[in-house]
Amino acid sequence: MEKLTDDQFAVQAVGLGKRFGGATGPWALRHCDFAVPTGRICGVMGPNGAGKSTLFALAAMLCAPSEGELRLFGSPLTPDGRGDGDGLRARIGFAAQDKPLYRSFTVADTLRMGRELNPSWNQALAERVLRLAELKQDAKVGSLSGGQRSRLALALAIGKQPELLLLDEPLADLDPLVRHDLLGVLLSDAADRGTTVLISSHTLTELEEVVDHVLLLHSGRVRLAGGVDELLDAHRLVSGPADLERPPGEAVEWRVTGRRATGLLHHPDPAPPPAPWTQERPRLDELLLAHLRGAAAGHAQNADTGAPTTDRPSPVTSEAAS
């Protein structure tokens, strides 16, 4: 992955940090380094408040980073440089978590806005997303239910046919049946056009079957990033007697219950551990959960010992809060 050049990454973060409320505000995101290659379906996971929405706002160019830089298709966005903002804007589609829409517009007006403001608009695709929700074209947006509004917001983001599609909790308001249909439309279109998708969820299992890349956030830090297969290959779930020495590998999580020990180990070597240890390949949700619990435990440890969690000096920025 290191050998890829800049433009082979749709999104790339280098020491990325974002704080709100001026130079003294709390950090919503800090010391983030990751790269998402183009064409991937990347699940952005993490509990509420992990910094997912902040990352989306940065990637949608709604605000500037407070430190470090975020590269979109190799074009850097930094605290003071605005990069090729206007050119990039056409290549990025975003459905925000709160689904802002003009309440006085009708559904047709909203789609027309998409058509008028985006040269690459695909009305048929947007309507396909809408038809699944059976929305009336002359219904006022203000009268729609939460799920219908979500659907309309998604139609707007997808109809733009962006190269990078950012979907922040897109499925939260939708019922399971619609959720499934929508993911189908979304992913088949993304696959056809090679769209890079960043899709977030605080429910770890929701996206398990659709993502081929993950970015796990916790407390504003990246805890895990990479291709799903590579990550699963590099981890193993082991279990065995508690009194034996732990098999080689870095323990992401290690638990002893009674006389048995179980845990998730990070080890690039797929060779099986010595008997009587047993091992299996973890599922994605097991992997993510173990890392989240590990992160939470590490966080608590740091707090207990008073060790600073932010050890790098922070450059003071005069970024206006947005």
Partner 1 sequence: MSTAQLSGPAPASPGTAEAGADSSGRRSPLRPFRPSGLTWLAWRQSRTAARTLGATVLLAVLVLLVGHFVFRSTLGAIDPDSALLRIGLLAHFTDQVEPAIFVLPVLIGMFIGAPLLSQEHEQGTIRLVRVQSVSPTRWLRTRLAVPALLVLVSVGALAAVSTSLWYWDVYRLDPPSDPAFQGMTYPALGLAPVAWSLYALAVGAAIGQFLRRTVLAVPVTGVVVGLSQVLVHAVRVHFLPLTDAPSWKTSWSMQFVQPSGSWVVEGGYVLPDGSRVANTVCLAGMDCNSRTTLYPTWARVHPVSHLLPMQLVETALLAAVAGVALYLTFRRVARTAL
Q: Which amino acid is at 197?
A: V
SS (H, E, C) 156-177: HHHHCCCCEEEECCCCCCCCHH
Q: How many CB atoms lie within 10 A of CB 89?
A: 14
Half-sphere exposure of 154 (CA within 13 A, CB side): 30
Residue 100 or 241: the one with the smaller Cβ distance to partner 1 is 100
Q: Which of residues 69-98 bind partner 1 (CB under 8 A)?
A: 77, 82-83, 85-87, 89-90, 92-94, 96, 98
Q: What is the DSSP letter of 63?
A: S
Give CA–CA dist 182/184, Å, rounded. 5
> Site map for partner 1, 48-67, x if CB under 8 A?
------------xxxxx---
| Distance in Å, CB of 109 to partner 1, minimum | 6
Residue 125 or 234: the one with the smaller Cβ distance to partner 1 is 125
Of 119, 176, 276, 313, the one binding partner 1 (CB under 8 A) is: 119
> Site map for partner 1, 153-192, x if CB under 8 A?
---xx--x--------------------------------
| Distance in Å, CB of 99 to partner 1, minimum | 8
Neighbouring residues of 275: CB distance < 8 A, sequence distance ≥ 6:
none
Neighbouring residues of 98: CB distance < 8 A, sequence distance ≥ 6:
none
- What is the widest separation between alpha-carbon atoms in the chain? 69
Residue 63 or 178: the one with the smaller Cβ distance to partner 1 is 63
User: Which residues contact partner 1 by CB under 8 A?
Assistant: 60-64, 77, 82-83, 85-87, 89-90, 92-94, 96, 98, 100-105, 109, 111-124, 126, 156-157, 160, 320, 322
